[in-house]
Chains A and B, each alone.
Chain A
């Protein structure tokens, strides 16, 4: 066997091993990305559930003071129930936006109830919910970043080939709903 042939065979060996390693690195990378998206979503879900618990307390505190805002309180209570029933990211995203909007309304309207505004429990809950809202916003950004990286990867060559073999499909972004984008709509319903 000539030297050139042996060198060529070794080169072919490198190409084969290289291709296998490259495939493995793409495969593992995609698996990790996919799992990271699930993990990032779970991290949002944890915060959403914490907010869910705090909303229950908030509604209880507000009920005694905001007698004329029944509609807002009822709305947030029903949204809270809807969230627990929601299944997909899209659905949860929509309800989350609606809850954020309703919370903004509650906090804005609370300005008209001096007793409520100075209530210790209310103040604590307001701070806590604001913290949770900030956390949700950050984690949503992180989640969307991972989804974006994943969606780009599965459409790029050569990842596209491996993603196709794994039957990986586009994931949905956790988008800010129209309701959340809108300014707070405050309805004053003073007693006549």
Chain B
């Protein structure tokens, strides 16, 4: 077997397994497409806990500046890739990736709800691409008031009381681990922190944390005036049981169309690729045998 034939044989083996992967991936995309088709869109005002599909506008909690386009946005996703050259081929390898995790709001004509984008599978248009040497910089973002499609899990987040309690406990633990801070609690300087001193310290921390949360909460409330009272602690995010969490600025129809082509390409492309590669592998083996 000469060098070229050997290379073709090698690529065929890779192609064979890639084809099988594409075939199965196609079915997982088909399942996803059917899910998007099957779950009806909820109104924000009446969302129930569990998997929901929402369509509305993205309203910022904090306006972010996208790193490359410098656009003011509610969410961005950047990727830095490096060109890796091999003998006769080259490919882009992901070197760095960031998706923002700052919550924002989804607003439709009935209300507004908080969306936590952590763990979302995004389908956004490429807004920026630049090549510099062997590196490539890409940016995807969602700008303020841009229409968005979300399929995620509606769940109850911690109430403000729970958050304050957790923060107080966290600060007390930090204080206990720091000898200098711990010494400050010994008000009567008897080298011993008694129950009363602990209670005073805890009370002070709780007061401080409550004030901080109050200030932050006021700011949040100003921006979330449209969030109805009963939705204040509801968050749309990635579920613990249902891992489906899609965030896109395409409409449901566009998403389904997109999936349709992908499913076709993956399933049939996978089969064709596998069979073609198998043919090459077998003919190589047969010829080698002769």
Contacts and interface: CB of A to CB of B under 8 A. Distances in A.
Interface of A: 3, 6-7, 10-11, 14, 17-18, 21-22, 25, 28-29, 32-33, 36, 39-40, 43, 134-135, 138-139, 141-142, 145-146, 149, 153
B271 A141 contact: no
A28 B278 CA distance: 32
- Chain A CB count within 10 A is highest, among B37, B40, B46, B283, for B46
A6 B23 contact: no
A7 B275 contact: yes
Contact of B275 (A10, A25, A40, A138): A10
B198 interface: no
A32 B278 contact: no
B283 A3 contact: yes
Given A7-B278, A146-B40, 11 more contacts: A33-B38, A40-B48, A134-B45, A134-B46, A138-B110, A142-B40, A142-B43, A142-B46, A146-B38, A149-B37, A149-B38
B34 A29 contact: yes
| Interface SS majority for chain B | helix
Interface size bucket, B side?
20 to 34
A22 B38 contact: no
A25 B23 contact: no
Given A6-B282, A7-B275, A29-B31, A138 B43 contact: yes
Contacts of B283: 3
Contacts, number: 73
Nearest to A11: B275
A64 to B, nearest CB: 29
B267 A18 contact: yes
| Interface SS majority for chain A | helix
Contacts of A141: 43
Contacts of A135: 45-46
Contact of B48 (A28, A32, A139): A139
Interface in B245-286: 267, 271, 274-275, 278-279, 282-283, 286
B278 A29 contact: no
Given A14-B274, A43-B48, A134-B46, A145 B40 contact: yes
A14 B35 CA distance: 24
Interface string B19-58: 0000110010011001101111111011010100000000
Contacts of B267: 18
29 contacts: A3-B279, A3-B283, A6-B282, A14-B271, A17-B23, A18-B23, A18-B27, A18-B267, A18-B271, A21-B27, A22-B30, A25-B27, A25-B30, A25-B34, A28-B31, A32-B38, A36-B38, A39-B48, A43-B48, A134-B110, A135-B45, A135-B46, A138-B46, A139-B48, A141-B43, A142-B41, A142-B46, A145-B40, A149-B37
